[in-house]
Structure 1
Amino acid sequence: MRPDSPDQPLERVTPRRLGSLRLRLTVGVPLLTALIVGLVEWGHEAAASTEVLSHAAWLVLGLSAALLLLVEVLMLRPLRQLAAGCEAMESAPLPLTPEFAAPAPGRAAELDRIGHAMRRVQGSLWQQEQDARELRRELAQQRQQLEQARAALETHQRELANLARTDILTGIANQRVFEETLRREFKRAQRQRGLLAVAVLDLDQFKQFNLTHGTGVGDQALQRVAALLTERFKRDTDLVARLGGEEFAALLPGLGMAEAQGVLESVREELRALHLPDGRGDLTLSIGLAAASPAHPYLSAQALLQAADEALYIAKHAGRDRLSLAA
């Protein structure tokens, strides 16, 4: 196929074409330079002279030589080297021999070692990904277990806090809660010059009752008494507590001696009529009552509670099953 065939999209650069291009540049560059220098000199000199023409001729020669040298170095020489390379490749094509078709034995072994190393790296990366996935799964399980443990701990803490303020057997307030509430209500009654009644209630001969009927029946009796007191004293401000053993207490804010006495007498009568499970005997109740008021103040909450205890002692020694008032 000829180089200038229309089927070839790009014309091949040949030495003949490079020679023609060099000739055209050798003629064209001096002419263009002479034209530019003539225009410049004509603008600066009014009339031509021998000295001016000589200066212009040397200037044209110098500029033309410089431009031709730049064109030779920057364009013609690279084109000539490119043409020589193309001719060399066309005249001596690279044969496809077994040496090029397959790598040398040493090179093949090296490629095998590289491929084996890459497979080992891929296997290691896959294993690391599996280990990371398993670790994430274990962390998620541990996080879930930690959340469950935290929730259980909070539940236990609430239960412990509730147990610390509740009597386990009867479910009503314990002595600690009663004493805290008594101090708070006593200070409030002092500030507001209000009324505050405190009653201490004790089951009569309860130890003998336990010996006769057993501690199981005795525990049931304590639970029945606690339920009766809770039912009778159910205002928001009332508080019923078990002080220990068979002794209970009732805190009645806003009630004076007379009002509290009437309620407690009815409680004592209801307890006497309350038959225990399986009809195993009856219980009676001794009560000591003290009430603080502006007309009958107490120095402290402890003094008010002690007055109720002393009244209970009097009721016990007066024959039991009765209510005694503090002096």
Structure 2
Amino acid sequence: MSTDSAAPSLHEDAMPRRLGSLRLRLGLGVPLLTCAIVAVFEWSLGGFVVPAEGMARTAWLVLLLSAAQLLLIEMLMLRPLRRLAAGCEAMESAPVPLTPEDATPAPGLAAELDRIGHAMRRARGSLWQQDQHARELRRELTQQRLLLEQAQLALEANQRELASLARTDALTGLANQRAFDEALRREFKRAQRQRGLLALAVLDLDEFKAFNHHHGTAVGDAALQSVAGLLNERFKRDTDVVARLGGEEFVALLPGVGMAEAQGVLEQLRDDLRALRLPQGEGHLTLSVGLAAASPAHPYLSAQALMQAADEALYIAKHAGRDRLSLAA
């Protein structure tokens, strides 16, 4: 027999011998230790009453306690040790497993593993494509959101521009008829409520159709813009409203201003226009003005009545020879 085959046999014999030697030592040592403990216990109780009877009782007590201790040791320690030894022997006697090089899967298992690996690769590829699609979708959504915000800003700007155009004269930049009508109703009600002053002047360029026909439309438009500039220079207060009603007709609404003060400013405006000598410093474009003013001493029933009074004053100025200011009665 070879050395390798003899080694496990020697090891298998050594384990039972060690357990038997341990059981023998416990069988001798446990009774002796129990006897000593019982003797000390009896002595601590006052000694032996009758030596013979005490010895017999002690002997029985030692035997019973020793037997109980050995039984517990056998059940709680020796049997688990014996099972552990048997397990170790079984593990040592088991055949050596094959190395990875020698272990080859069955053909069916290899095919199944290939199919699983292929499916996992396809799943990874699909997940990667879905992630790319999600990223592209997020980019497109971001671009669409930016475009939507830009469109919203452009729409708001267009709405503001349309609102401004709806209330502004395109040629002169002054308020238009709609904006003036709203301002007239508002300021007239305020003047009535506060018993304040409100002056209204209607201004019309004299012989403007002939001027426009002689010098051309472009020169006529430039003249209208110059008149609008003069009106803006003369009426600078936040409460003043200057508008172009259409064609060559303008209007100035002056809250808190009476007849005399408004007359002085408008006469100065007529002088400024004559000094311009439109067109191009060579002409003689003039202005006719009709002025009406509401006050507690001279009230009007409505804003339309005040406007009509100013129009009638302008009509009188036109028929009186133009280039003049006429006051409403």
Of 103-112 and 27-36, more deviation after overlay is shown by 27-36
Q: What letter matches 2:93 in structure 1?
A: A
Q: CA shift at 1:19, angstroms? A: 4.0
Matched position secondary structure for 1:101: coil
How far, CA to CA, are the matches of 1:173 and 1:51 in structure 2?
133
- The Cα offsets for residues 20-75 of structure 1, whole Å up to 9 and x where unpaired, read as 444445555566666667777877897575567646643542343133212234x3
How far did residue 148 of structure 1 move?
A: 2.0
**Residue of structure 2 in register with 1:76 after alignment:** 81
1:87 partner letter? E
Alignment of 1:237-248 (within 5 A): 237-248=239-250
Deviations 1:91-137 (A, max 9, x none): x4335496x33323222222222222222122222222222222222
Q: Distance in 2 between matches of 1:56 and 1:25?
A: 14
Q: Counterpart of 1:185 in structure 2: which amino acid? A: E
Structure 1 residue 213, shift from structure 2 partner: 4.8
Give the whole-Å Cα distance in 2 for the aligned partners of 1:40 and 1:298. Answer: 134
AA partner of residue 67 (structure 1): I
What are structure 2's unaligned runs of at least 5 residues?
A: 5-13
CA-based RMSD = 3.5
CA distance in 1 between counterparts of 2:188 and 2:121 reads 84
In 2: Cα distance, 1:64 partner to 1:220 partner? 131
Partner of 1:93: 96
Distance 2:290 2:100 in 1: 122
What fraction of aligned residue pairs are identical, expressed as a percent? 68
Q: How does 1:146-225 map to 2 (within 5 A)?
A: 146-225=148-227
Q: Which residue of 2 aligns with 1:9?
A: none
Are residue 116 (structure 1) and residue 118 (structure 2) matched? Answer: yes
Asked if the contact 1:288/1:310 (under 8 Å) is kept, the reply is: yes
Q: Out of 248, 259, 262, which is 2:261 matched to?
A: 259
Aligned partner of 1:58 in structure 2 is 64
Distance 1:278 1:121, change over 3 A: same
Map of 2:73 onto structure 1: 67
Distance 1:34 1:181 in 2: 126
Change (3 A) 1:60 1:14: closer
- Supply the distance in 1 between the matched residues of 2:45 and 2:165 (Cα, whole angstroms): 117
Letter in 2 for 1:113: R
Write the mapping of 1:34-49 to structure 2, written as runs, cut at 5 A: none
Would the alpha carbon gap of residues 78 and 160 (structure 1) be closer, same or farther in structure 2, given more than 3 Å must change?
A: farther
Seen in structure 2, the aligned counterparts of structure 1 residues 39 and 243 have a Cα distance that, compared at 3 Å, is: farther
Taking the aligned partners of 2:293 and 2:59, their CA distance within structure 1 comes to: 140
Residues 55 and 25 of structure 1: CA distance in aligned 2, closer, same or farther (over 3 Å): closer
Is residue 31–residue 63 contact of structure 2 (8 Å, CA) maintained in 1? no
Distance (whole Å) between structure 1 residues aligned to residue 34 and residue 142 of structure 2: 84
Q: Distance in 1 between matches of 2:26 and 2:278?
A: 134
Match of 2:90, as an amino acid? G
- The residue type equivalent to 2:77 in the other structure is V
Give the letter aligned to residue 150 of structure 2: Q
Q: C-alpha distance in 2, partners of 1:249/1:62?
A: 129
Aligned equivalent of 2:143? 141
* Aligned twin of 1:284: 286
Contact 1:202-1:246 within 8 A present in 2 as well: yes
Report the Cα offset of residue 223 of structure 1.
1.8
Provide closer, same or farther for how the CA distance between residues 272 and 71 of structure 1 changes in structure 2, counting only shifts above 3 A: same
How many residue pairs match? The answer is 313
Equivalent residues of 2:31, 2:62 under 8 A apart: no
Deviation at 1:144, TM superposition (A): 2.2
Q: What is the identity, as a one-letter code, of the residue corresponding to 1:88?
A: S
1:205 deviates by 4.0
Query: 1:5 matched to which residue of 2?
Result: none
Kept after mapping to 2: 8 A contact 1:25/1:68: no
